[in-house]
Homo-oligomer: A and B are copies of this chain.
Amino acid sequence: MISPICLFVFSFIFSCSYASHVQDFCVADYAAPQGPAGYSCKDPAKVTVDDFVHSGLGVPANTSNRYKFGFTSAFSFNFSGLNGLGVSLGRTDVEVGGVVPIHSHPGATELVVIEEGSSIIGGFIASNNKVYQKPLNKGDTMVLPQGLYHFFVNQGKTPAIIYAAFSSESPTVQLLDTSLFKNGLASVIIAKTTLLDVAQVHKIKKLFGGTN
């Protein structure tokens, strides 16, 4: 136990020597150890407003892929000020006719708002296999409860921009396709545990460079 003589009243009339006890935030220090609750905190004396501001969501993501969609994240791994604060943002761009492939966020709920576009089908599948889906238009919001499969289909006539808020500062993304097909998981195991035909598995593995 250290000897505390820095009384509160001093902290607002005089200056106080406990510079490091500001606990309002814990800006990520990417060079220090990480723990289950997030990154270590940067020395508060070195924190600047730039730790709390992030640019990048104003630019469309690259959509030149099979699904015609792209995603840009503002998560704690690239936005240091979010560390430990339990919220993050992302931007999804979906071309006309494009989709956001089926995926889930283990342990995070997603809440989207349609920023541009119309007739964008948003959908998720509950654990009892029931599908909840609806066409969304500009200004609509939809919640995708944590850990459940969801997807979007842009059936409108213009590209879609979707902002997504997450209930975690470091949500992860598990894509059905890349989880199954972009690695070395044996095709026979995939086939047995999904009932997909081996030929189908091989075909999609080729698209993603999967092996075995």
How many copies are assembled? 6
What per-residue 1/0 map shows which CB atoms of A3-37 lie under 8 Å from chain B? 11111111111000010111111100110111111
Are the CB atoms of A55 and B9 closer together than 8 Å? no
Would A78 and B18 be within 8 Å (CB), given that A57-B139, A104-B106, A146-B85 are in contact? yes
* Residues of B with C-beta under 8 A to A13: 65, 208
Are the CB atoms of B79 and A208 closer together than 8 Å? no
* Residues of B with C-beta under 8 A to A137: 58
* Residues of B with C-beta under 8 A to A142: 52-54
Chain B residue at smallest Cβ distance from A171: B23
Are the CB atoms of A88 and B111 closer together than 8 Å? yes
Interface size on A, residues (CB 8 A): 148
Q: Which residues of A contact B (CB under 8 A)?
A: 1-13, 18, 20-26, 29-30, 32-41, 48-59, 61-63, 65-67, 69-75, 77-90, 99-102, 104-107, 109-111, 113-115, 121-134, 136-149, 151, 153, 163, 165-167, 170-180, 182-185, 189-190, 192-197, 200, 203-204, 207-208
